[in-house]
Chains A and B, each alone.
Chain A
Amino acid sequence: MTVTVKPVRRRKASFLDRLYLPAIAKGLSITFMRMFKPKVTMQFPEERWTVRDEYRGMPVLVSDDEGRPKCVACSLCEFVCPPKAIFIVPDELEAGNNVERGPAVFDLNMLRCIYCGLCEEACPEEAIFMSKNYLVWGAEREDMIFHKDKLYELGGVREEGVKKWKDK
């Protein structure tokens, strides 16, 4: 295959162009004009965007209307998660709980999570949700691995949805 090269003709900069002053004046005039228009800059992080309902932020764990953790450690989210951001160690819960099984360890590695939402989709218990939280930060790698308690704290209570083990 032959490649045809088409030379681009460039206009030579004129004297005015080379002076730069007109361009500076033009730029400054835009700056001055903006000073009298309404401000659009948001004071992040004090001010935050309200995101739309379908926004996929950080995944969190939720509790049912009686405040009981919903996750049963079925490990389906761990299985489906493409970047393997979830790590679960299932455990037997003491008698008297609404369900026999729950996670002893539920770690979510937010350095790995790609916010795909597959965990929420896979969860048969509606225990994990994509929250609206897009502000995920940590000073160290370890801080970016969220543990079970923190995930439940961030998730809070969710009244609606599946309550399969409610009467067990």
Chain B
Amino acid sequence: MADVKTVFINGVEYPFDAGQTVIQVAHENGLDVPHYCYHPGLSIAGNCRICMVEVEGDAKPQVSCKLECAPPPWVSEPLRIQTESELAKSARAGTMEMLLVNHPLDCPICDQAGECHLQDYSYQLGQGQASSSTAKTKLPKNVAFGEKIVYDAERCIKCTLCVRFCEEVTETNELNLGGRGDEEIVIMSSKGEFETDYSMNIIDICPVGALTSRDFRFKSRLWFMDFADSVCTGCARGCNVITGGRNGSMMRMEPRHNADVNQWWMCDQGRLDYRYVNTPTRIATPRIKTADGVWAAATVDDAILAAAAALKAAGGNVLVDGGCTLEEMHLAQQLAAALGGKATYAAATGEADGFLRVAEQGANAAGAELLGLARATKAGAAAVLVVERDANVPQALRDGADAVVVFATDADHVPASAQVVFPFGSSAERDGLFVNTDGRVQVAQRNPGIGPDNLTPPYELLEEILGELDAGYDWHGRDGIVAAIQAQPAFAKISLPAAQATAEVGATS
């Protein structure tokens, strides 16, 4: 057998690894070959036929997702593939036409519009008129697949990605294909609910709008939303995500590919956890408690002065949420030092599920340990309290701390002892670094479409307060803070990304 190690795609020679198929090599090299039923994280089914390419010398096109780059043993020359030849294009156009014979063209009412492969390829390859005049089949719409997912059989192209996900990734086998021919649909096991807590990933991988999220259903058009690369703070795994928001509300969270952390997936609990961001009791402006005990909205500058004055009088410890960024935790340490106290962090412990979710709930607990913050286990006095989530800093800890300066997301989480309150953004609204359970440093980016307008980043507020305390602290800015953390011995073997660096952007499919 000749040892062929390369493949020609559109005339360019690319090397390949043993077992790789043409579509994999093409995607790796930035070539766009259309695909529905292919997903890099699942087995290859080769049933949708949209990925057809021409193999030079062959009369018929072949599916590139299943076609191995290694030529058959009796051929000693590399395969020569054309992805954009007339034959390849007409094969795909034919596939598109067949797919659209029964597709309802629901785009005006379909949540997938804007991120739908069928819509995209239809623009590229489709024709304006159908050649078939038969009536479209009527199939069940708005079928509940458990509580979180809505299935629309008319939109489904039977690519079996969702079925394979439940077979291969979660191994819970809730879905299968049923019926025949035109009437073929995806059916759910008789239990009617998913056993896995990773079910919503099938919404992301479904190439069309056949599977949509009950939670996000009809909430917003994609093209009105802002997106940002961030990190889930639901547990210490730190799955890479893309946050989506509009007009100050967070709309959804979707996984972002990171081969070393979460692959393509995230758990449903983390995905739906974002809802705390939209609580009606969000704090939007700083507040100061007046002499007669009522809260008054204040400017940021006034609040900083008031906070510094209150802290000079009180002194003491700082308690931060385990979901704070490295920058915030580092400044909390500086603040505690200036106040003559200690900085601690609080985080809940949940249950690991053996896949992604880990027991540690403090998204940056590993970072806190690296910085040398101790874990607060029971209530103890703290002059400054930073609480993002109720789960990490529960009421007992908040009330027990007797804090005078509080950074909080939700007004309901502000203890009665507070004198000055600063609005604290949710994890989707703050830039910063997180260290996940495996010691991996990850970047979270602020999504401008989420949260109250003009939120001052907490690290700026903390620096300002430190400056007012006359403890000899110089303003650093975010770059300076990251550099100061990097200079610590515990971070000698870790390289922190520069503050402006964007998070690693993975392929979404």
Chain A window 38-82, contacts with chain B (Cβ cutoff 8 Å), 1 for yes, 0 for no: 000000000000000000000000000000000011111011000
Given A76, A79, A91, A95, which contacts B142 in the complex, CB threshold below 8 Å? Answer: A95
Complex CA distance for A91 and B218, rounded to whole angstroms: 6
Complex CA distance for A124 and B113, rounded to whole angstroms: 13
CB-CB under 8 A for A124 and B223, given A91-B218, A101-B218 = no
CB-CB under 8 A from B142, the residues of chain A are: 95, 100
Say whether B107 faces chain A, with CB atoms less than 8 Å apart. yes
Q: Are A74 and B108 in touch, CB under 8 angstroms?
A: yes
Complex CA distance for A75 and B217, rounded to whole angstroms: 14
Near B by CB (< 8 A), chain A positions 143-168 give 168
CB-CB under 8 A for A100 and B221, given A124-B107, A124-B108 = no
6 residue pairs from A and B, CB less than 8 Å apart: A74-B109, A90-B218, A92-B218, A95-B142, A125-B108, A168-B141
Complex CA distance for A92 and B111, rounded to whole angstroms: 12
Q: Which 8 A-B pairs have the closest CB atoms?
A: A74-B108, A101-B109, A90-B218, A75-B221, A124-B108, A72-B109, A72-B108, A101-B218
Q: Are A99 and B109 in touch, CB under 8 angstroms?
A: yes
CB-CB under 8 A for A79 and B108, given A100-B141, A100-B142 = no
Complex CA distance for A99 and B220, rounded to whole angstroms: 17
Given B109, B219, B224, which contacts A100 in the complex, CB threshold below 8 Å? Answer: B109
Q: Which residues of A contact B (CB under 8 A)?
A: 72-76, 78-79, 90-92, 95, 99-101, 124-125, 168
B contact face: mostly helix, strand, loop, or mixed: loop
Q: Are A79 and B109 in touch, CB under 8 angstroms?
A: no
Complex CA distance for A79 and B246, rounded to whole angstroms: 14
Q: Are B224 and A79 in touch, CB under 8 angstroms?
A: yes
A106 CB to closest chain B CB (Å) equals 14
B474 CB to closest chain A CB (Å) equals 45
Complex CA distance for A73 and B108, rounded to whole angstroms: 8
CB-CB under 8 A from B223, the residues of chain A are: 79
Count of CB-CB pairs between chains A and B under 8 Å: 33
CB-CB under 8 A from A76, the residues of chain B are: 108
Q: Are A92 and B217 in touch, CB under 8 angstroms?
A: yes
Q: Which residue of A lies closest to B214 (CB)?
A: A92
Chain B contact patch, size range:
10 to 19
Complex CA distance for A112 and B481, rounded to whole angstroms: 46
Complex CA distance for A92 and B219, rounded to whole angstroms: 9
Complex CA distance for A125 and B107, rounded to whole angstroms: 11
CB-CB under 8 A from A92, the residues of chain B are: 217-218
Q: Which residue of A lies closest to B223 (CB)?
A: A79
Chain B window 205-237, contacts with chain A (Cβ cutoff 8 Å), 1 for yes, 0 for no: 000000000000111110110000000000000
Q: Are A79 and B221 in touch, CB under 8 angstroms?
A: yes
Complex CA distance for A95 and B144, rounded to whole angstroms: 13
CB-CB under 8 A from B217, the residues of chain A are: 92
B503 CB to closest chain A CB (Å) equals 28
A102 CB to closest chain B CB (Å) equals 9
Chain B window 321-344, contacts with chain A (Cβ cutoff 8 Å), 1 for yes, 0 for no: 000000000000000000000000
Complex CA distance for A73 and B110, rounded to whole angstroms: 10
B122 CB to closest chain A CB (Å) equals 14
- Known pairs A73-B218, A90-B218, A124-B107 / 5 extra A-B pairs, C-beta < 8 Å: A74-B108, A90-B220, A91-B218, A92-B218, A125-B108
Complex CA distance for A100 and B111, rounded to whole angstroms: 12
Of listed B142, B218, B220, residue having the most chain A CB within 10 A: B218
Chain B window 94-129, contacts with chain A (Cβ cutoff 8 Å), 1 for yes, 0 for no: 000000000000011100010000000000000000
Complex CA distance for A101 and B110, rounded to whole angstroms: 9
CB-CB under 8 A from B141, the residues of chain A are: 100, 168
CB-CB under 8 A from B218, the residues of chain A are: 73, 90-92, 101
Complex CA distance for A165 and B13, rounded to whole angstroms: 51
Complex CA distance for A90 and B218, rounded to whole angstroms: 6
CB-CB under 8 A from B220, the residues of chain A are: 90
